[in-house]
Amino acid sequence: MTSRAMRATFQIVLLLFLLLFVYMLDFRLGVLRLLFPLQRELIYQRVTLPTLVIQHLQMVTISSAAATIVGLLIGVAVTRPAGRDFLPLARDLSSFAQTFPPAAVLALAFPVLGFGFRPTVAALFVFGLLPVINNTISGIESVDSRIVEASVGQGMTQKQVLFRTELPLSARVIVAGIRTSIIINIGTATIGSTIGAGGLGTVIIAGLVRNNTAFVLTGAITAAGIAFVVDWLFGRIETLFYDPRERVTT
Amino acid sequence: MIEFEHVSKHYGNTVALDDVSFTVPDGTVSVLIGPSGCGKSTSLRLVNRLLEPNDGYVRVDGTPVREFPPQILRRGIGYVIQSVGLLPHMTVEENIGLVPKLLGCDKRDRSRRAGELLELIGLSPDEYRNKYPIQLSGGEAQRVGVARALAANPPILLMDEPFGAVDPLNRETLQQEFISIQRKLRKTVIFVTHDLDEAVRVADRIVLMRDGNVVQTGAPEEILGAPANDFVREFVGSDRALKRLARFIVGDFMIDAPSVDRGAHLDWNRYRDFEVVYVTDDHRHLLGAVPRDGRAAMSSAEDAMDDALVGAVSFGSTLRDALAEILNTELAETPVVDEHGHLVGRITMAEIYSATPRRIV
């Protein structure tokens, strides 16, 4: 079997496992019982796992969508002639913000935005913004300046240069940034449940409080599985775009 | 017509162009040449407003270019740069159709036009249409770059070292193709290069620049024949007389060649004034040559001839090629043949010496 076929098989098995684990109670029970034969309480009863998954995905989708849009706009703005002065600032800020612990962002956000869903989404948004901005800047900057000049020289307007040359040529790098942003957010979103945002963090926190490793693992396995599937999906999306490593021969 | 009128351009304290004036007449190729930093590329970019002058005017057909919106101006001017200028995410057809698309041509017209242009530049449309730039050789990419510049049929072409990234052998082919395309299309061309041989080959006029100034303008044979000062003399090199020969076509200088049929007896009394007699077949195909001091009393010319002496130049080649051929043979002259190998004349050292600047390639 080729490595590609092996990967495809692994991905399908993983997806199947994830679906069964989340939606078939008996399957999940079986897996957890195998892992924790002595644990009496294996299934978190207060909220069903599919509900937690949906809450989790809602937080991630909203925050990542906003981060993607805003990050793209910022990245494009600071690479325009008019916004170029802000380029170093945008780079520094996004690098700096990435060093902030997520818990600190939450702690800073909830006095302003209250408990629960909204401050979590805000924190995830800030976190998801950075890879998108960074990759948008790097992607656009990496487009060969001679190709940009050729485009201008053929009579493209600034907007046409952006949409017909710069974005298509940097799309792969930008999508990679969005991919990183979403993967980070899927993991980080679990922390939102500490301020009552719901999501897969809920069952993890419950597990920690009650010293129930089965609960912790239920949340962790599910979040990791979702991250895997999304990562795989975006890996496929990236291949749709022009690969900047393919340089023109001269 | 493109005119530069007292044009100056500086970057901070660095002067790129200092009060430059010259004119590019309609339908001719002007080559801007000079050492790096002389301002040749800067001049070119002033024409399509990739740069703006600090002083003076650049005019196209009498109108200063600054009166046109840049995008509109550029869509009417073909722009060829080294092959990196092809958009790597677009096919050959999409690259060629770029400007027509900006001008609002529909897809069918663009596709048809791309086909025509691929034919013109000698690439099979069916084979090349859907290729990406990375799948092209350097020479092919360069041809596509020329095709793209011609796509919207602009009267003006700007070419910035268009063949600079191609190996010498391919470069010469591309230059020949460019010359023959230019003969058909008669565009007004500004061509930037640092390669003097290329300039001599493609130019109607050369604008020789140095440190932001025009040092000398004129036809290549003028510049090579009468350098204005020591700088020009040094720039064109001590072999300038040789380079100048490349401007003259053998067909314009050749004289009649004595010949006998291969079956006939060679009677030297009839060819008293000649050092060499050429031997041809019934269709005047050149077979060989008999030098005066060669094997004499043979039965026929064919037996007497030495076919090792049959190097020849085509009538379309240059006097430089003819001189090279003369030096290659043991004879003091070279026969001239047409495209079918028929003997049409000969060139001796006398013709080489007599070359005068009376024809532009």
ipTM exceeding 0.90? no
- With an 8 Å Cβ cutoff, are B87 and A146 in contact? no
Q: Which residues of chain A have a CB within 8 Å of the CB of B81?
A: 146, 149-150, 153
- With an 8 Å Cβ cutoff, are B81 and A149 in contact? yes
Measured CA to CA, the distance from residue A90 to residue A88 in angstroms comes to 6
Tokens of B6: 């007292």
Nearest to A151 among B87, B134, B138 (CB): B87
- With an 8 Å Cβ cutoff, are A249 and B75 in contact? no
Question: Which candidate, B48, B270, B261, places its Cα nearest to that of B159?
Answer: B48
- For residue B20, the SS3 value is strand
Nearest to A250 among B73, B84, B89 (CB): B84
Tokens of B3: 């005119």
Q: Over 80: is that where the pLDDT of B320 sits? A: yes
Q: Which residues of chain B have a CB within 8 Å of the CB of A246?
A: 88, 134
Which of A38-47, B61-70, B111-120 is predicted least confidently? A38-47
Q: Over 90: is that where the pLDDT of B147 sits? A: yes
Measured CA to CA, the distance from residue A145 to residue B81 in angstroms comes to 13
Q: Which residues of chain B have a CB within 8 Å of the CB of A164?
A: 87
Nearest to A248 among B50, B72, B83 (CB): B83
pLDDT of residue A249: 38
- With an 8 Å Cβ cutoff, are B88 and A150 in contact? no
Question: Which candidate, B69, B50, B84, places its Cα nearest to that of B158?
Answer: B50
Closest chain A residue by Cα to residue B89: A242
Q: Which residues of chain A have a CB within 8 Å of the CB of B174?
A: none
pLDDT digits (tens, 9 = 90+) for A175-217: 999 999 999 999 989 988 888 888 899 999 999 999 999 999 9
Nearest to B87 among A157, A165, A250 (CB): A165
Q: Is B148 an interface residue toward A (CB < 8 Å)?
A: yes
What pLDDT band is residue B361 in, cutting at 50, 70 and 90? Answer: very low
Are residues B326 and B253 in contact, defined by beta-carbon separation less than 8 angstroms? no
Nearest to A154 among B84, B99, B136 (CB): B99
- With an 8 Å Cβ cutoff, are A154 and B137 in contact? no
Q: Please give, rounded to a whole number of angstroms, the shortest distance from the CA of A234 to a CA of chain B.
A: 20
Measured CA to CA, the distance from residue A140 to residue B59 in angstroms comes to 35
Nearest to A242 among B73, B88, B141 (CB): B88
The CATH homologous superfamily to which domain A47-238 belongs is MetI-like (1.10.3720.10)
Are residues B83 and B141 in contact, defined by beta-carbon separation less than 8 angstroms? yes
Q: Which residues of chain A have a CB within 8 Å of the CB of B99?
A: 154-155
What pLDDT band is residue B65 in, cutting at 50, 70 and 90? Answer: very high
Cβ neighbours around A13 below 10 Å, total: 10
Measured CA to CA, the distance from residue A95 to residue A127 in angstroms comes to 11
Q: Which residues of chain A have a CB within 8 Å of the CB of B141?
A: 248-250
H-type alpha helices, chain B:
40-47, 70-75, 92-96, 98-102, 107-120, 125-128, 138-150, 168-185, 196-202, 220-225, 230-236, 240-245, 250-253, 301-304, 319-328, 349-354
Q: Over 50: is that where the pLDDT of B358 sits? A: no
pLDDT of residue B84: 65
- With an 8 Å Cβ cutoff, are A246 and B141 in contact? no
Q: Please give, rounded to a whole number of angstroms, the shortest distance from the CA of B265 to a CA of chain A.
A: 58
- With an 8 Å Cβ cutoff, are A150 and B99 in contact? no
Are residues B209 and B177 in contact, defined by beta-carbon separation less than 8 angstroms? no
Strands B213-218 and B205-210: antiparallel
Tokens of A10: 């692994």
Q: Is B136 an interface residue toward A (CB < 8 Å)?
A: yes
Measured CA to CA, the distance from residue B52 to residue B47 in angstroms comes to 9
Measured CA to CA, the distance from residue B321 to residue B106 in angstroms comes to 48
pLDDT digits (tens, 9 = 90+) for B166-179: 888 888 888 988 99
Q: Over 80: is that where the pLDDT of B294 sits? A: no
Backbone angles phi, psi at A50, to 5 degrees: -55, -35
Q: Average pLDDT in the B55-77 region?
A: 94
Domain ranges of chain A: 47-238
Closest chain B residue by Cα to residue A169: B89
What pLDDT band is residue B111 in, cutting at 50, 70 and 90? Answer: very high
Are residues A168 and B89 in contact, defined by beta-carbon separation less than 8 angstroms? yes
What residue type is assigned to position A236 of the chain? Answer: R
Tokens of A5: 């076929």
Measured CA to CA, the distance from residue B29 to residue B198 in angstroms comes to 12
Measured CA to CA, the distance from residue A70 to residue A64 in angstroms comes to 10
- With an 8 Å Cβ cutoff, are A168 and B137 in contact? no
Cβ neighbours around B279 below 10 Å, total: 28
Exposed/middle/buried for residue B62 (C-beta within 10 Å: 0-12, 13-18, 19+): exposed
Q: Which residues of chain B have a CB within 8 Å of the CB of A250?
A: 82-84, 138, 141, 165
Cα separations in angstroms, B46 against B34, B40, B309: 17, 10, 54
Nearest to B134 among A151, A165, A248 (CB): A248
pLDDT of residue A97: 74
pLDDT of residue B239: 81
Q: Is B98 an interface residue toward A (CB < 8 Å)?
A: yes
Bridge partners of B290, per DSSP, are: B277
More confident residue, A4 or B301: A4
Nearest to A168 among B85, B89, B98 (CB): B89
**Regions of chain A short of the pLDDT cut 50:** 247-250
Q: How many helices (H) and strands (E) does chain A have?
A: 11, 0
DSSP state of B272: T
Q: Is B137 an interface residue toward A (CB < 8 Å)?
A: yes
Cβ neighbours around B36 below 10 Å, total: 7
Tell me the pLDDT of chain B averaged across its residues.
88
Cα separations in angstroms, A20 against A36, A49, A190: 19, 11, 21
What pLDDT band is residue B308 in, cutting at 50, 70 and 90? Answer: low
pLDDT of residue A231: 93
Measured CA to CA, the distance from residue A235 to residue A172 in angstroms comes to 10
Listing from the earlier edge strand, what are the strands of the sheet with B205-210? Answer: B77-81, B156-160, B188-193, B29-33, B205-210, B213-218
Q: Is B73 an interface residue toward A (CB < 8 Å)?
A: yes
- With an 8 Å Cβ cutoff, are B88 and A247 in contact? yes
What pLDDT band is residue B266 in, cutting at 50, 70 and 90? Answer: confident
pLDDT of residue B296: 57
Closest chain A residue by Cα to residue B167: A250
Q: Is A154 an interface residue toward B (CB < 8 Å)?
A: yes
Q: How many helices (H) and strands (E) does chain B have?
A: 16, 16
**Domains of chain B, earliest start first:** 2-245 (3.40.50.300), 250-354 (3.10.580.10)
pLDDT digits (tens, 9 = 90+) for A98-114: 777 777 877 787 788 88
